[in-house]
Amino acid sequence: MAVVSLSQPDADDLDFDAIRITGELETANHLLDDHEALMRFHDEKGYVFLRNVLDPASVEEARAAMFEIMERHGVVAPGASEPVWTGTPFPGGMEESEEFAGISRRIIEHPGNLELMARILGEPAAMVPIVQYRIYPPNGPVTGVHQDGFFSPGIVNFKPMWMPLVDIDRSMGGLMVAVGQNKRGYFHNLAKAPRCPIPEGVIEPGSWATADYHPGDVLVIHGATPHASRPNLSDRVRVSIDTRIQSAGNPRVLLGTVTGWASDRIDVETHDGPRSFRVDDDTFIRILHPGTRIPTGDFAETVQKDMKLAIVFDGDHAETLRKASEN
Ligand SMILES: O=C(O)CCC(=O)C(=O)O
Ligand SMILES: [Fe+2]
């Protein structure tokens, strides 16, 4: 179907606090050997929830790395094995901090996990260099209702995935998903740019579902599925990673280091050598802060040599230029 977004200048924004979760996410482990059936489930329900599928040692390694960072910031006690909050706040806006670099790549590129990713995609998988690491203490940040695909135009064959690294029960702010609401285009309200909040009354109120999550689980979210986190009302820290996977054979996102540019062009050095892409009004430019779009007219003055960017491309056209969050 044609993907549309809403434009409703007078609409009320969706009332987050009024959302009631009435459903339970279903696991799809039994469909892992039947990719067609797995994708039917994904397209119908808008998610794929897999219980205890990541290699345990790789999860333990990621968990230990996150705990080390939490310890360093005093968020958990030294030597803590459970994410009990000390009361020390964790600074906001750290989701893409350099401190975390490599944790996601190590978990995704673990051979056993790559095999799982290939079963999810139906072909060999690769990591997308866009990752958020979340260390969310009680009453910390809450992620509002959004559809990932709306914010990443051009990523046609990627799959967002969310991985809990501690037990995340319902009091701790795990994800809720609007089941089956992925088939009606984007709900984001273009009339209220740049935030484009989803209006009240468009998502089926009875569609919300969640689960108690455990390390080793993977939740794949359809790019058009509305989802959000819940507030963390517990005494523990919510620790999770969200990243994306894509086709290894036909990637649409690559990591590049800026080597040159003009107002309508960007040159980058990539893993596989130098590449150039066209930049125009259809390029979604988010090179300083991933949440802020920069007009194409400002591109040439804003971009800098050696910037690391995630580039979503279609042929030689840059669909999205985004500050890279992982290398
Ligand atoms: O963990 C969160 O708070 C949000 C995660 C998310 O939006 C995602 O994985 O796409
Ligand atoms: Fe998301």
What pLDDT shows up at residue 246? 93
- Beta partners for residue 193, in sequence order: none
191-198 contacts: CB < 8 A, separation 24 or more? 191/6, 191/7, 191/8, 191/9, 191/11, 192/9, 192/13, 194/292, 194/293, 196/5, 196/150, 197/13, 197/14, 197/144, 198/13, 198/14, 198/145, 198/146, 198/147, 198/226
Residue 2 has pLDDT above 60, yes or no: no
Residues 154 and 204 in one domain: yes
- Among candidate residues 208, 230, 247, the one where a domain is terminated: 247
Instruction: Look up residue 323 and give its two tokens.
Output: 């500050």
Ligand 1 pocket, residues with Cβ under 6 angstroms: 134, 143, 148, 160, 162, 175, 221, 227, 229, 240, 242
In total, how many domains does the chain have?
Answer: 2
Does 299 lie in the same domain as 228? Answer: no
pLDDT digits (tens, 9 = 90+) for 95-152: 989 899 899 999 999 999 999 999 999 999 999 888 999 999 998 889 999 999 887 7
Task: State phi, psi for 309 to the nearest 5 degrees.
Answer: -125, 145
Please report, for the domain that includes residue 175, its CATH number: 2.60.120.620
Cα–Cα distance for residue pair 27/13, rounded to 1 Å: 31
For residue 185, the one-letter residue type is G
Which pLDDT belongs to residue 4?
A: 66
Q: Which residue has the higher pLDDT, 289 or 219?
A: 219
Measure 203 CA to ligand 2 centroid, in angstroms.
Answer: 16
d(CA 59, CA 55): 6
**Residue 230 domain-assigned (yes or no):** yes
The CATH number linked to 274 is 2.40.50
Query: 311 and 232 in one domain?
Result: no
Q: Which of 247, 268, 302 is the last residue of a domain?
A: 247
Q: Which ligand is nearest to the CA of 230?
A: 1
Enclosing domain of residue 286: 253-323
* Final residue belonging to a domain, choices 222, 247, 272: 247
Q: Are residue 76 and residue 119 in the same domain, yes or no? A: yes
Residues 243, 267, single domain; the answer is no
Asked whether residue 208 falls in the same domain as residue 115, the answer is: yes
The pLDDT confidence band at residue 327, using thresholds 50, 70 and 90, is low
- pLDDT band per the 50, 70, 90 thresholds, residue 291: confident
Bridge-based pairing state of the strands 253-262 and 308-314: antiparallel
pLDDT, tens digit (0-9, with 9 covering 90-100), for 27-80: 999 999 999 999 999 999 999 999 999 999 999 999 999 999 999 999 999 999
Q: Which residue's CA is minimally distant from atom 6 of ligand 1?
A: 242
Answer yes or no: is pLDDT of 325 > 60.
yes
**In angstroms, what is the span from residue 30 Cα to ligand 1's centroid?**
25
Co-location of 198 and 235 in the same domain: yes
**Index of the ligand 1 atom closest to the CA of residue 141:** 3
For residue 287, being part of any structural domain is answered with: yes
The answer to the question of residue 4 being in a domain is: no
* Percentage with pLDDT > 70 across the chain: 97
> Own/partner pairs for 67-74, CB < 8 Å, 24+ apart?
67/239, 69/99, 69/100, 69/135, 70/135, 70/237, 70/239, 73/135
- 7 part of a folded domain: no
For residue 178, tell me if it sits in a domain: yes
Q: Which ligand 1 atom is at minimum distance from the Cα of 229?
A: 3
Q: Domain for residue 21, yes or no?
A: yes
Pair (48, 97) in one structural domain: yes
